[in-house]
Amino acid sequence: MAFRALLYRRPTEPSTIAVKFGSQIFAIRLRRHRRARRYTLRIHPSDREAILTMPPRGTIADARDFAQRHGGWIAARLGRLPKAAPFQHGVVIPLRGVLHKIVHRAGERGTVWTEIRDSGERILCVAGGPEYTDRRVHDFLKREARRDLQKASEAYAAQLGVKVKRISIRDQSSRWGSCTSAGSLSFSWRLILAPSYVLDYLAAHEVAHLVEMNHSARFWKVVGRICPQTERAKTWLDVHGNDLHRYGVEE
């Protein structure tokens, strides 16, 4: 077996460790990273858990000690997470920044669609058994996100004379989008929850990386040229972005 493989392979290593802070006990997920040089902690907002990254030669004992010493930080950060809003009947969620109430329509044909009641209330209708509501809403939002992001990305690419090779839709917790030099773009499906100008900005941002693979002044000049709403969108994300991670999450 290659030496590098020996460094990372831990067949009997636990995937989580427990940390106690006051009367609370937290399960901390462990992960190794070959480029890590120290132990680090971060909060995964949609999974609502703490993740401890270990260097290749790190030990479980040291990881446990590190997590325990930061028990107060873990408790505070998890405690500040916005209240979860699962995709279930009666829950109100944003779609392109507009609030919609999820309404289960038992016995009706179809999957998920939108309606406006006489009162002006917007609703997201979900057919089928109630046990499928969560999955059907997730699937609907991902399809809508892909459609909007594909359209926006291709439009911005045409303006800049570049080619988008592929678009992937994921649930990324640390960034809203990413770009490879080969032309592959990746976005968080949660952007469909934000106002449309925010989604458009992220599409412009990632497409602009096909011109400038950096965050230099030249890069921001490209973004600003094709997306006049850049500063407005960045401000919205700074203020409201973290809130998007509470949707589709169980209590």
Give the domain ranges of the chain. Answer: 3-79, 92-246
Residues 6+ apart with CB under 8 A from 84: 48, 246, 249, 250, 251
Cα gap 182→185, rounded to integer Å: 9
The one-letter amino acid code at 85 reads: A
Residues 6+ apart with CB under 8 A from 111: 126, 127, 128, 136, 139, 140
Residue 1 clears pLDDT 50, i.e. is over it:
no
- 8 pLDDT band, cuts 50/70/90, is low
Class of domain 92-246: alpha beta
Among 58-62, 174-178, 188-192, 240-244, the range of highest mean pLDDT: 188-192
Averaged pLDDT of the chain? 92
Residues 98-127: tens digit of each pLDDT: 999 999 998 888 899 999 999 999 999 999
Percent of the chain residues topping a pLDDT of 70: 95
180-196 tens-digit pLDDT: 989 999 999 999 999 99
Q: Supply the pLDDT for residue 4.
A: 52
How many whole angstroms separate alpha carbon 148 and alpha carbon 158? 16
pLDDT at res. 11: 62
Stretch 52-62: mean pLDDT = 93
Q: Which amino acid is residue 89, in one-letter code?
A: H
Model pLDDT, residue 43: 85
CB distance 208 to 226 below 8 Å: yes
Q: Whole-model pTM? A: 0.79
